[in-house]
Amino acid sequence: MLTDWRSSGEGIPGYRALADRLRLLVLDGRLPVDTVLPSERTLAEALETSRTTTTSAYRLLRESGFAEGSQGAGTWTTLPRSEGRSESPIWPEHLSGEPDPSGARGDFSSAALEAPPELYPAYQAAISELPRFLPGNGYVTSGLPVLRDRIAQRYTEAGLPTTPEQILVTNGALQALHLVLGLVMERGDRVLVEHPTYPAAAQAIRTHGGRCVPLPVEAGWDIGRMATLIRQTGAHLAYLMPDFHNPTGLLMDEAQRRELGAMIADTGCRIIVDETMRELDLRTAVPAARAGVPTPENLPMPRPLAAFGPAEHVITLGSASKTFWGGLRIGWVRASQPLIRRLGLARGNEDLSGPLLEQLATANLLEHLPTIRHQRQRLVAERAVALRDALAMNLPGWSVPMPQGGISLWCHLPEPRSSHVAASARAMGVWLTPGPRFGLDGAFEARIRLPFARPTHDLVAMTEVLARAWHSQGRAHSLDDDLTTV
């Protein structure tokens, strides 16, 4: 992480260059908070610099709130109290479920699409099927059999043989996550999460009394590091998004899945796998959108992670929200049959059942999955390309990798000013979620997640506002200037 630490420090003393680089690593989350740093002597030797340089750099980090510790006790990373703790809500307060007819408000905050054309007919078909159920009491605690059956079939087709008894239908993946956490974790447990991670998942873990342990993933999953963290922290649960991770859009390949499966068997760690984004594969759709040609056959998707680990240890969450529509509020858990039975009992104690009509509509939509998936991928790819082009034009200093899938760009800012930009943009009518929302303890102040869920013309207009918000910050801040203001 420090191989080129001197490069940013031309003209400034070595200890400052080193401290600046370490602060940046903490701010963007690559160096998680509470990481014990090497001793001053070890670091000096590794960097081939003087002990004075590392001692002064650590002192500067402590003075600026980026480290704590003392001689003898070691030095560990922290964040200044005010750093990046954005108060902005995950959801805009104005969300009404309807698009803003005036177009005056822009929403860069939610990575969720409008309904596909097949949705309304799916509801109409559901209405016509409803009379069959009306003589019954309407409660289906584990989910409507036809829907459990179709979800199971989808897993089997993806290379993970599954029976309907292994599926519990829930009100969205988020309810599924809460149910699972309620069953498999105890208060005080440490839970490994990718860093960055999906904010509502980190919040759910905290709600259940868990303590999140960050696993850096911006450069991909390091299974060896994960095993080390599990051993060091005693975590026996992890929450992962290997199928187009939110917010980076990364996809874990088969080889890593195999390695992870072996690691799970070895450590006994349980994994909650959130596959909410699985159908939004952009790997062939984006090049096709760029070339203006029809999307060719998709690259094969790796099999679901549960195909690689022991059945009792991998619990999978799925959702209809991104593939079809968030308004359905349909999600599910796929797990071993005994666990699903226990989750079903827990669910019965919570809200008894999900609505029937939505389950019927989702079962109908799943029949058209290949067509809808293809259309969705094309739509999302066109928007991804348009947003990235608009950013390149309006904010050329930002670095914006094209994701492998999902519905958002994870933008790297040249300065750690994400919360400032979010606040300024909101004052100009565009909602967005600053980077620290996706980090623990305020990390990712130099990142912004921008979903490409809106039509292209909205994305272009919102990007123009975003550029004004970025430039309205005045002169470029140095890291030092930001300490008290972020």
Subset of 360-389 contacting ligand PLP (CB under 6 A): none
Q: Does 319 bind ligand PLP (CB under 6 A)?
A: yes
Shortest Å, Cβ 328 to ligand PLP: 9
Shortest Å, Cβ 319 to ligand PLP: 3
Stretch that binds ligand PLP, among 10-18, 119-127, 166-174, 186-194 (CB under 6 A): 166-174
* C-alpha span between 467 and 473 (Å, rounded): 10
* b/e sequence 464-483, b meaning 16+ C-beta within 10 Å: ebbbebbeeeeeebebeebb
* C-alpha span between 95 and 118 (Å, rounded): 24
Q: Does 331 bind ligand PLP (CB under 6 A)?
A: yes
Stretch that binds ligand PLP, among 260-268, 279-287, 318-326, 344-352 (CB under 6 A): 318-326
Candidates 53, 276, 418, 419; binder of ligand PLP (CB under 6 A) is 276
Helix, strand, or coil here: 291?
helix
Q: Does 321 bind ligand PLP (CB under 6 A)?
A: yes
SS (H, E, C) 464-477: HHHHHHHHCCCCCC
Subset of 99-138 contacting ligand PLP (CB under 6 A): 111
Apex 410 CA angle, 20 and 278, nearest 5: 140
Q: Does 304 bind ligand PLP (CB under 6 A)?
A: no
Contact yes or no for 451/431 (Cβ under 8 A): no
Q: Does 180 bind ligand PLP (CB under 6 A)?
A: no
Shortest Å, Cβ 276 to ligand PLP: 4
Stretch that binds ligand PLP, among 4-12, 170-178, 249-257, 347-355 (CB under 6 A): 170-178
Of 155 and 198, nearer to ligand PLP (C-beta) is 198
User: How many residues lie near ligand PLP (CB under 6 A)?
Assistant: 13
Q: Does 450 bind ligand PLP (CB under 6 A)?
A: no
Of 49 and 377, nearer to ligand PLP (C-beta) is 377
Q: Does 92 bind ligand PLP (CB under 6 A)?
A: no
Tokens 């079903």 -> residue: 344
* C-alpha span between 186 and 433 (Å, rounded): 30
Contact yes or no for 90/98 (Cβ under 8 A): no
Q: Does 143 bind ligand PLP (CB under 6 A)?
A: no
Contact yes or no for 440/30 (Cβ under 8 A): no
Contact yes or no for 445/485 (Cβ under 8 A): no
Contacts of 327 (CB under 8 A, 6+ apart): 97, 115
Candidates 17, 160, 168, 173; binder of ligand PLP (CB under 6 A) is 173
Q: Does 248 bind ligand PLP (CB under 6 A)?
A: no
Q: Sign of torsion, CA 113 451 238 308?
A: positive
Positions in the binding site for ligand PLP (CB under 6 A) = 111, 172-174, 198, 241, 246, 274, 276, 319, 321, 326, 331
